[in-house]
Structure 1
């Protein structure tokens, strides 16, 4: 399949030294000539407030594991290293905070803010004089040594600190706590002095493979302080890390990843590493202004999705990249990390193809992999997932305990239990960006309220975005301002939309696009209203092994299968759930559906989208009906349903039942068991 790209204030608790500082300083001539300011500026955490169904999704997370992981998960709960204890001192606590911190400020939840501030304050208050930070090391605890650049080997792994830097960055954008910039500055000075003696990969391959996360924050600080040593540090970290920009631009890497599933160089194929690394070329371009990195980005992402892409908008990752067969798995961490990488890419490059990709994986791949209460998750999801159970499956990760596909809090590896919280929260943070002309752009669409300052006069405005997108095609923007405000309101037009409609105060205006953006540049008054309609057509798309998927707008649709849930308990991984279908799943779409989808697929609204919407079958707001025939020989083999073989015309030529049946499809994100990549059968 050729991926379409898609072508196709809280008073600061416990803070004794708060002094406001400017959050985003204006780029000036003092910045190195090679440094590229982002095309779109990320807005401070808290500027965007979720509403409607999106607000409810975050409330579910607060009530679930995101708000309570430190109370229910022993690894984070017990004697935590990020609070000075002897417990978890590696990635899982920072992973959790990387989602819990934005959730606390998006929901303006003082209880959750107080909770996450324990970790933030401990980390800030216990930074070593040298600039080193993090949990107390073994050498410090047992021998009383002070970690310095000269004895950096007495420190510990760089990797978990990279995640905590992301946490601190978000906290700073929400609070402007004056302790944070000096904290970053001291640590990066320590790194610059230490890295020749203690390189990024000294302790683990994880740090070497994920150095981009470190570089990203170094360059963010440079955009504020303009200290040239930071660009030197960024280049040094990049030189010691995996050469992702080179690999992404070199097709040998992605081809090799598609053909090799052995232990050799598996970290180069590890799906979560790849998810983080996708943004590496954009970050290198930001530092160097070398356009070869943009070429590498576009080549690498296109090749990745061509060879490993799946209909729900993410690539296979179980744990390696594993081709585009609909029976391959994808790790939950891969989804949330890819989302964040795309959000960074969009800001740096302004390339809106990545916004299409972001919406596709957010609205399809993300919601299906957690339970309604956000207490259980699935380590690997499968596109054509005809059952969820303990078993072997077609995964490259060792599977001795057979727990990688079930829903459980601790099933599979627990990295995803800690890391899944950043998906919805950071998506919410990136619904809007600031533009270079001091306007704003609506980048991704969901119900929310934006509060920001715009225009040359820095006028305060509130924009209420009222919509049930992605389930409907109309998005309303209501502007509130005490004074008139002259600024550009930019609206992204997804690549799948052919004829957008724009109305201002009820009057249709010409919707001229430039590179997928409609710009409304005017002086806005209080109570001005903008309507954007993005008409959604039903189409089909071609995927692995000549399969076809049905989509409409940003949503992909899957066969609706009523679910039978069965609870089990594993001695090591605790409670889990199997899910089985209650009806037949082995259907092929009629050939006419592919030839004329608009004529042969019927869309209906099945129920309204309420503010208490949950991504499940009971709440699926849309259905599509199609005509299909059963394929009797399409059966489960080794726990998966291998895709029926088709000829090059895309038609399955084996035995097909003569009876034509009407099947119902619902949004993929509302399913747990399903078929989404259908074989095509004769009419």
Structure 2
């Protein structure tokens, strides 16, 4: 038996910051090939140290149910959308054509690239490479890049995210000088052509890429650029400090202030759901430059404000298209789901706060898969926790149109068709992170295989689990030679009795600890066994409604579904979905949890991996124009007996009730 040193979250953060200050990892050289076991590159002084860092792209490969989910994405729209959608086809402006030349090409590759390498798919790699090669091989003479039909800063911000991943995957020597030249150009151009609309709201995404490059080149002009982007960008932290947007956005009031164009000015952009999702990383990212602990911690205040005034039971906030209040009949855009995940993954690395891992899992294992058909050949623009019909109606959206919750190729607007691809691959890339003191951290749980280094020694970790559908996780460590390093294990905040064993021997794990740190010498074959037993929790929400969760999973009543093809869309279709069973129930006590096999399609409603029974009774509650009325606070009971409902994981029910009126005792 080896001695283990256990530290809590506070001690870990102090130790990791100190370790980062005295032993920052060396930066990569331009053109050096990145290998799966390559070390993470931490921020270089004068940037603030951070406790965690994402491993180089390609270090984590999915296994088990997660690999099946990524294969479904690759075989559906995620890998083939360019074959059926002109906006990403051969005439794309990001392939040198005269087609769509703004954000959709970069959006697509931002998820396609990690998906291709995680699945080691030659076909998908070739698709991604075409976009990257055209971009790198066609810079403008002045340093700008991308299609010449526009000079908008915003779509370049997305392609920069692509290039950072690509350089880590391949070590392509073109990337660092290409990015340097562009950033130098932009530093000179921004005073006369400042950030506007989307770029002004999303400046933090580019600052993340700027700091990524700075950690590799130490070019002082990059810090000047970061400061200028922040200065010209929208002040998200200031907005949330005295958060004024506490009700559903009233489109008529916004238009009365600024006319139809008001939604492209601050009055509209600051309550735009995707902007808000991307803003969650703004303060943590900027804290690397400011070195201000208040900036680093501000994300928690932002999340609290969103939960209080717009929170939904699936881990997201409502915004359809703009912030929409707490009613679970309101929706959230798929772009906002994947952007919130990416923001939280970034923030988790910078802050080391375990609670962000809980939030990532809540979104990833509910809101993300809920927005797709099980084969991922169709998706929604907006999803609703209480979604009783997907049809052509304008109710209840703030500003979206009647196609908003249809399942299809590009319902309502095509941004999500291009952007959803990043959700699963970037979650995979965030399952494990490097620690500033040379250790490794398990940050989000799913089956995977990790290849990286720990204190200079190559190591592989096999993580076997059916989590979140099961409670147990087994990690097998295989370092190339025995090596001492701290292993940090996230203890979910919802778990009241976590269990941790090292080679069969129990290690004390305290609920609420955040990250449990196990410091020891690790040898090939060492096993870490985790168990996170979960209680069924009844959560109170809008109008005293109740919803049910167990661990990361939220449960919903599946409403019978009649799928009606609205129109053929090349390789796929657009669908309307109508209810075939009653949904107007009040719910009370939770009953039995039953476990079932995790199917080939892990989140499919027809084969749920877990079910939950609840006591219920029909109540007076109706739908209008395809949308359930807001949950009634004290509904009248129908003249029907009590019954037992069988709930399934949220994502498996494409028509569903998630927030129920509380059943009178």
Shared fold per TM-score greater than 0.5:
yes
Name the residue aligned to 2:9.
none
Name the residue aligned to 2:291.
289
Q: Does 1:233 align with 2:225?
A: yes
Note if contact 1:557-1:665 (Cα within 8 Å) is conserved in structure 2.
Answer: yes
Post-superposition offset of 1:674: 0.7
Summarize deviations over 1:537-593 as a string: whole Å, max 9, x none: 011111112111011001010013332211112899994112223221111013xx2
Name the residue aligned to 1:602.
592
For 1:398 and 1:517, the matched residues in 2 are separated by: 41
Post-superposition offset of 1:671: 1.1
Out of 499, 502, 506, the residue aligned to residue 500 of structure 2 is 502
Secondary structure, aligned partner of 1:494: coil
Name the residue aligned to 2:429.
429
Name the residue aligned to 2:45.
31
Higher deviation after alignment, 567-576 or 284-293? 567-576
Out of 604, 607, 610, the residue aligned to residue 616 of structure 1 is 604
Name the residue aligned to 2:184.
189
Post-superposition offset of 1:506: 1.7
For 2:68 and 2:316, the matched residues in 1 are separated by: 24
Q: Measured at CA, do residues 661 and 26 of structure 1 come closer, stay the same or move farther in structure 2, by a change above 3 Å?
A: closer
Out of 44, 58, 68, the residue aligned to residue 56 of structure 2 is 44
Q: Measured at CA, do residues 227 and 67 of structure 1 come closer, stay the same or move farther in structure 2, by a change above 3 Å?
A: same
For 2:397 and 2:80, the matched residues in 1 are separated by: 31
For 1:433 and 1:127, the matched residues in 2 are separated by: 33
Note if contact 1:559-1:665 (Cα within 8 Å) is conserved in structure 2.
Answer: yes
Q: Measured at CA, do residues 107 and 571 of structure 1 come closer, stay the same or move farther in structure 2, by a change above 3 Å?
A: closer
Post-superposition offset of 1:228: 2.0
Name the residue aligned to 2:104.
92
Note if contact 1:550-1:557 (Cα within 8 Å) is conserved in structure 2.
Answer: yes
Summarize deviations over 1:610-667 as a string: whole Å, max 9, x none: 4x23322122111111111110x21112321113432xxxxx2523435110110010
For 2:33 and 2:571, the matched residues in 1 are separated by: 46
Name the residue aligned to 1:584.
582
Trace 1:48-447 onto structure 2 (pairs within 5 A): 48-137=60-149, 156-201=151-196, 205-252=197-244, 254-255=245-246, 262-263=254-255, 264=262, 265-399=267-401, 402-447=402-447
For 2:529 and 2:557, the matched residues in 1 are separated by: 33
Summarize deviations over 1:410-439 as a string: whole Å, max 9, x none: 221011000010001100000000011211
Name the residue aligned to 1:544.
542
Note if contact 1:513-1:519 (Cα within 8 Å) is conserved in structure 2.
Answer: no
Secondary structure, aligned partner of 2:658: coil
For 1:102 and 1:71, the matched residues in 2 are separated by: 19
Q: Does 1:664 align with 2:646?
A: yes
Secondary structure, aligned partner of 1:319: coil
Name the residue aligned to 1:151.
none
For 2:524 and 2:281, the matched residues in 1 are separated by: 39
Gaps of 5+ in 1: 1-16, 138-154, 594-599, 647-651
Out of 20, 29, 35, the residue aligned to residue 33 of structure 2 is 20
For 1:274 and 1:509, the matched residues in 2 are separated by: 40
Q: Does 1:479 align with 2:441?
A: no
For 2:660 and 2:612, the matched residues in 1 are separated by: 14
Post-superposition offset of 1:21: 7.0
Note if contact 2:558-2:647 (Cα within 8 Å) is conserved in structure 1.
Answer: yes
Q: Measured at CA, do residues 119 and 27 of structure 1 come closer, stay the same or move farther in structure 2, by a change above 3 Å?
A: closer
Name the residue aligned to 1:640.
627
For 2:187 and 2:367, the matched residues in 1 are separated by: 39
For 1:114 and 1:658, the matched residues in 2 are separated by: 60
Higher deviation after alignment, 312-321 or 217-226? 217-226
Q: Does 1:462 align with 2:460?
A: yes
For 1:418 and 1:412, the matched residues in 2 are separated by: 13
Post-superposition offset of 1:209: 1.6
Q: Measured at CA, do residues 110 and 564 of structure 1 come closer, stay the same or move farther in structure 2, by a change above 3 Å?
A: same
Note if contact 2:497-2:511 (Cα within 8 Å) is conserved in structure 1.
Answer: no
For 2:480 and 2:290, the matched residues in 1 are separated by: 42
Q: Measured at CA, do residues 537 and 519 of structure 1 come closer, stay the same or move farther in structure 2, by a change above 3 Å?
A: same
Gaps of 5+ in 2: 1-29, 256-261
For 1:308 and 1:282, the matched residues in 2 are separated by: 22
For 2:631 and 2:40, the matched residues in 1 are separated by: 57
For 1:437 and 1:50, the matched residues in 2 are separated by: 26
Post-superposition offset of 1:244: 1.2
Count of residues paired in the alignment: 623
Note if contact 1:496-1:553 (Cα within 8 Å) is conserved in structure 2.
Answer: yes
For 2:626 and 2:373, the matched residues in 1 are separated by: 21
TM-score by length of 1: 0.88
Summarize deviations over 1:206-243 as a string: whole Å, max 9, x none: 12221221112112212222222211111101111211
For 1:640 and 1:562, the matched residues in 2 are separated by: 15
Q: Measured at CA, do residues 182 and 644 of structure 1 come closer, stay the same or move farther in structure 2, by a change above 3 Å?
A: closer
Post-superposition offset of 1:37: 2.6
